[in-house]
Amino acid sequence: MKMLKKYLKEYKWYIVVGPFFKLLGTILELCNPIIVAKIVDVGVKNNDIDYIIKLGIIILIVNIAGFLFNLISQKCASLTSTGVSTSLRKDLFKKISEFSHTELDKFGTASLVNRIMNDVYQVENAVGLSLRLLIRIPFLLLGAFVISLIINPMMSIVFLVLIPVVCVILWIYTKKTSPYYKMMREKLDTVGKITQENLKGTRVIRAFNKQEDEEKRFNIASADYTKTSIKISKISALLSPLMLLFVNIVTIAILMLGGWQVNLGNMQQGEILALIDYVTMITLSLLIMSQLIIMIVRTNASLNRIKEVFSVIPSIQDKPDALETKKLKYDAIMEFKDVSFNYANDKETPSFIKDLSFSIYPHQTIGIIGGTGSGKTTIANLMARFYDANRGEILFKGVNVKDISLKCLREDLSIVQQRSSLFKGSIRENMQLRDKDATDEEINEALKISQAYDFVSKWKDGLDHQILAGGKNISGGQLQRLTIARAIINKPDMLILDDSNSALDFLTDSKLRKALKKLDTTLVLISQRATSVQNADLIIVLDNGNVVGMGKHQELLKNCEVYLEIYRSQTR
């Protein structure tokens, strides 16, 4: 709960005003049974219509005032809870956006979505309920007990028995249900993860007729979540009947003892009605208190999950004195020096990339080729600093990438990843993700280089053509060409194409490579096609994370068996 303090500080005024008016409303609520008792004991008993009307008007005024006070309190609580949740959600999203791929891999998308949506919503509800009830409930309990003591000290003994019994029931209920709430959040993450995987891979699932298998997997996870939820519901189902049972028992006790006191002349009928009202108030208050306690327990579980995100220090972030690349003087634009890397980021796991060393010079075209799983994409991720090397150094423009501002690094270095992606919106909006000030002329120039201009110009709405999320309404080849166009909008110093031509036919691929050569940039072509990299100034051949060959096409055909095998398999 300490984490919420900084968010609550912004709403100090509401936090003071809201509970204050709720307190006033509670005081007026406590007055109602006394006024009703007076109407019965004086007005009804003496058949005094004027007295009944007079007190009836007072009750009306008291209830209207209570309604207005509660309305003000409700508004203050709502403004505070929604404000806190909005600020918390913004900070949480900002924190997640700072995560490197390592942290994103650790948490998983489904879990992070649940934390930023469901857990924050849980906090919002708890803040709102707390501001409305934390003052009201204790004061209502105390006030009801004190007034019953004033009405008849002997009858107040019933309250002394009722309150401890109800508190014990609530304590048992809280202790039994608390452990299940954390389990529910974790199982909800699992359900969300399976749902996300199915929505993203729906085409694959349908292509292999795996709908039934995925339904079974989802149903198992959903049933597991439901099982935990039912356990809580079973315990909760006993609470209300038990509370009502005690209310009825206490009501019967009050009626019996009260009737005896009335016969003795120590009490009046109206006072018995007032005591029954106060018993109901106390019982309902304790019931609401139990729900509030459960809400706090659930919120504490959610806050711990949110705190877990905030407590993570991103493994990749700018140093305080990070350098800007514009001021750097260099020979090689990119250098790998004895670089080793594994995704587990520990010493025990074998390295995926092992002792890798090579240099890339300005305006060169570099080809990186190798079999599946040889480490090509990993090298691209290390170049763009999506991950940091476990050992060795990666230099960009002569300086360790860890010492360079991430913003500058990714402005100078543009990457088109293996899994191309576009966002929902127009082509123009997608192109301007790289450079928000890009003009239509600059966009069209990039489209021509990427061989995308031909099909874009045929669309009636041209650059205003709407793309669905992920580029679902265009072909794979069109998607790849558009992502390449987006990457070269601001003419970066270095362009990395990570197998981003795999969906292109050989003619389009050839035209694309020729057009890219005209760019004044260093080009890194990562591909499984020997024909895509054979004209590169330098070809790096990978096998199981090791460089097994380095040189030009003809040299590698003579000296590198891995490259020769790849080339022969594709050109035979």
Q: In what order do the strands lie in the sheet with 365-370?
A: 413-416, 494-498, 522-527, 365-370, 538-543, 546-551
Length of the chain: 572
Q: Is the dihedral of CA 39, 40, 42, 46 positive or negative?
A: positive
Burial class (CB within 10 angstroms; exposed 0-12, middle 13-18, buried 19+) of 159? buried
What distance in Å separates the CA atoms of residue 36 and residue 274, rounded to the nearest whole number?
Answer: 7
The label of the residue with tokens 């299940």 reads 180
Candidate from 133-147, 229-243, 452-466, 478-492 with smallest mean pLDDT = 229-243
Burial class (CB within 10 angstroms; exposed 0-12, middle 13-18, buried 19+) of 460? exposed
- In this prediction, residue 509 carries a pLDDT of 78
Interval 457-467 mean pLDDT: 85
CA dist 425 → 416, 430, 470, 484, 490 (Å): 19, 7, 10, 17, 20
Interval 214-218 mean pLDDT: 83
| Whether 74 contacts 288, CB under 8 Å | no
- In this prediction, residue 480 carries a pLDDT of 85
Interval 177-200 mean pLDDT: 75
- Residue 94: other Cβ atoms inside 10 A: 9
pTM for this prediction:
0.72
- pLDDT band, residue 452 (cuts 50/70/90): confident
What distance in Å separates the CA atoms of residue 235 and residue 243, rounded to the nearest whole number?
Answer: 13
| Cα of 15 vs its chain's centroid, Å | 27
- Residue 492: other Cβ atoms inside 10 A: 19
What distance in Å separates the CA atoms of residue 265 and residue 250, rounded to the nearest whole number?
Answer: 22
Sorted by where each starts, the structural domains of the chain and their CATH numbers stand as: 2-311 (1.20.1560.10), 333-571 (3.40.50.300)
DSSP H or E segment with residue 549: strand 546-551
Interval 363-374 mean pLDDT: 85
- In this prediction, residue 1 carries a pLDDT of 61
One-letter amino acid for residue 297 of the chain? V
- In this prediction, residue 289 carries a pLDDT of 76
Q: What is the DSSP string of 223-257?
A: HHHHHHHHHHHHHHHHHHHHHHHHHHHHHHHHHHH
- pLDDT band, residue 348 (cuts 50/70/90): low
Residue 96, Ramachandran bin (φ over 0: left; ψ between -120 and 50: alpha; else beta): alpha
- In this prediction, residue 505 carries a pLDDT of 77
- pLDDT band, residue 454 (cuts 50/70/90): confident
Among 519, 350, 326, 294, which Cα is nearest to 405's?
A: 326
- In this prediction, residue 347 carries a pLDDT of 61
Interval 235-258 mean pLDDT: 74
| Cα of 103 vs its chain's centroid, Å | 13
Among 567, 545, 548, 570, which Cα is nearest to 377's?
A: 545
Q: What is the pLDDT of residues 57-110, one digit of tens each?
A: 888 998 899 899 989 988 998 899 898 889 999 999 988 888 888 888 788 777
- Residue 264: other Cβ atoms inside 10 A: 8
- In this prediction, residue 350 carries a pLDDT of 62
- In this prediction, residue 159 carries a pLDDT of 67
Among 385, 414, 415, 412, which Cα is nearest to 400's?
A: 385
Among 288, 309, 281, which Cα is nearest to 34's?
A: 281
Residue 422's contacts (CB-CB under 8 Å, 6 or more residues apart) are 430, 467, 469, 470, 471, 479, 482, 483
Highest mean pLDDT among 290-304, 316-330, 390-404: 390-404
What distance in Å separates the CA atoms of residue 303 and residue 305, rounded to the nearest whole number?
Answer: 5
Instruction: Write down the mean pLDDT value for the chain.
Output: 82
Q: Backbone phi, then psi, for 539, in 5-degree steps?
A: -115, 130
- In this prediction, residue 68 carries a pLDDT of 93
Q: Backbone phi, then psi, for 336, in 5-degree steps?
A: -110, 125
One-letter amino acid for residue 234 of the chain? K
- pLDDT band, residue 346 (cuts 50/70/90): low
Q: What percent of the chain has pLDDT over 70?
A: 95
| Cα of 478 vs its chain's centroid, Å | 32
